[in-house]
Structure 1
Amino acid sequence: MTIRAFAFDLDGTLVDSIADLARAANAARADLGLPPLAEETVQGFVGDGAASLVARTLAGDHAANWHNTAEQQQAMARFDVHYKAGLTIATRFYPEVQETLHSLHELEYPLAIVTNKPERYTLPLLRELGISERFDVIVSGDTLAEKKPSPLPLQFVLERLSLSPEQLLMVGDSKNDVLAAKAAGTPSVLVSYGYGRDVQEMGADHVIRFFSEVLEFID
């Protein structure tokens, strides 16, 4: 592997945002007269973008899909208000993330964010966390016509950074990250501490326990 740049998923990889996502989801449910869901239940609904998260939390069911119904639109509007009002109340970096990003930046490795989180949340979240300027490319869930597991977001990063696929390492925590990487032809690494379950079985090239292990992939 000759890695020249890194692409990172956001939620479950760089930051633990479940408490704030669950708070906003349950506040939206309360607005609609529904009881709260357990935080771990909401965690199981994360990873496919805001529309899927809202559809799942509204129904309390991972199998629920976004159909743009009036009720789903209302739930999305309420979630939007609550989440924007508290993007970083409890959201925290995972251990070693800030130090590792700083090291990669100092070594002049281009860094990218590739997340399914909508841009209206991604950009202010990165600003509030003080790391937006660390990244040369930021691809949110609605930046392009398709999101992960499509290869399009990673292909966009490759084009922007003028890299061949084998030179970009995708670091994430879910099957979507692995599928996107495989489709784009890039190597992939999963963190074992994130929101994904059974990460050893997801087909990534490597699984790491600590974020600082990312540094082992530099040339």
Structure 2
Amino acid sequence: MEIKAFAFDLDGTLVDSIADLARAANAARADLGLAPLTEARVASYVGDGASSLVARTLADDHGAEFTGTALQKEAMNHFDMHYKRGLTIDTTFYPQVQITLSRLHERGFPLAIVTNKPERYTLPLLRELGVSEHFEVVVAGDTLPHKKPSPEPLLHVAARLGISPTELLMVGDSKNDVLAAQAAECPVIAVSYGYGGQMDDMGADRVIHHFADLLEFID
């Protein structure tokens, strides 16, 4: 692979944010008189954006969809309030992420974020974590008309950076990341430690267990 730039998923790939997501989801459930869910249960609902997470945690059902019912909208408002108040209370980088991003940045590789997390959470979270300056392009779940698994976010990044999609390496932890990359004809690497489950069977070009293994592709 001739890699000229990197695109990264956020939750489950760069940062472990499940504690803060679960706290906000359970606070929203409590506001509505519902019992809390385990962090592992909330983690299983992550990956398709905030509205999907709210619908799933509200119903405690992975098949639930956000259809805009009055109850779902109320739950979304509560989640939004609680999550904005604590985006980075317990959110931490996975091991080796910060140093690896710094090395890629120092080597001159353009870096991008491609996440299904809405901009209203993504941009302040990156600022609070002190890594905004690393990323030349940030595509959140509501930046464009379509989000992952659509190829649109990755094609947008490649166009912004002036490179071919085949030169943009996508790194993520879920099937959505793999499907988006394949549809955009980007190479894709899956991390094994995120929220997306067993990645060996999801069709990524390679599965890595340590974030710093990405440096093998430029050394």
TM range (shorter): over 0.9
Structure 1 counterpart of 2:195: 195
Note the C-alpha offset of 1:196: 1.3
3-state secondary structure, aligned to 1:23: helix
CA contact (8 A) 1:4 1:218 kept: no
Matches for 1:27-176 after TM superposition, within 5 Å: 27-176=27-176
Paired residues of 1:119 and 1:142 also in contact (CA < 8 A): yes
In 1, distance between residues paired with 2:140 and 2:165? Answer: 20
Q: How far apart are the structure 2 equivalents of 1:186 and 1:39?
A: 32
Shift of 1:169: 0.2
Q: TM-score, normalised by structure 2?
A: 0.99
- Paired letter, 2:96: E
> Within 1, Cα distance between the matches of 2:98 and 2:196?
21
Partner of 1:112, secondary structure, is strand
Q: Which residue is 1:26 aligned to?
A: 26
- Partner of 2:64: helix, strand, or coil? coil
Offset at residue 218 of structure 1 (A):
1.6
Distance 1:201 1:172 in 2: 14
**What is the aligned partner in structure 1 of residue 184 from structure 2?**
184
Q: Secondary structure at the match of 1:201?
A: coil
**Distance in 2 between residues matched to 1:11 and 1:62, nearest whole Å:** 18
Aligned-partner residue type, residue 208 of structure 1: I
Query: What are the superposed Cα offsets for residues 36-83 of structure 1, whole Å, 9 maximum, x if unpaired?
Result: 011100000000000000000000110100100000000000000000
How many Å apart are 1:217 and its aligned residue? 1.1
Distance 1:13 1:155 in 2: 20
1:88-128 deviations in whole A, cap 9, x for unaligned?
00000000000000000100100000000000000000000
SS of alignment partner, residue 215 of structure 2: helix
What is the letter of the counterpart of residue 94 of structure 1? Y
Deviations 1:131-180 (A, max 9, x none): 01110000000000000000000000010001111110000000000000
Instruction: Find the aligned partners of 1:166 and 1:216 in 2 and give their Cα distance.
Output: 18
Query: What 5-or-longer segments of structure 2 have no aligned partner?
Result: none
Query: In structure 2, what is the Cα distance between the partners aligned to 1:186 and 1:178?
Result: 9
Secondary structure in structure 2 of the residue aligned to 1:83: helix
Q: Spell out, residue by residue over 1:165-216, the C-alpha distance to the aligned partner (whole angstroms, 9 max, x if none).
A: 1110000000000000000000000000111111000000000000000111
Q: CA deviation at 1:23?
A: 0.2
Q: Which runs of 4+ in 1 moved over 2 A?
A: none
SS at match of 2:200: helix
CA distance in 2, matches of 1:45, 1:4: 33
Q: Partners of 2:2 and 2:127 in 1: how far apart?
A: 31
Alignment check: 8 A CA contact 1:146 1:153 kept: yes
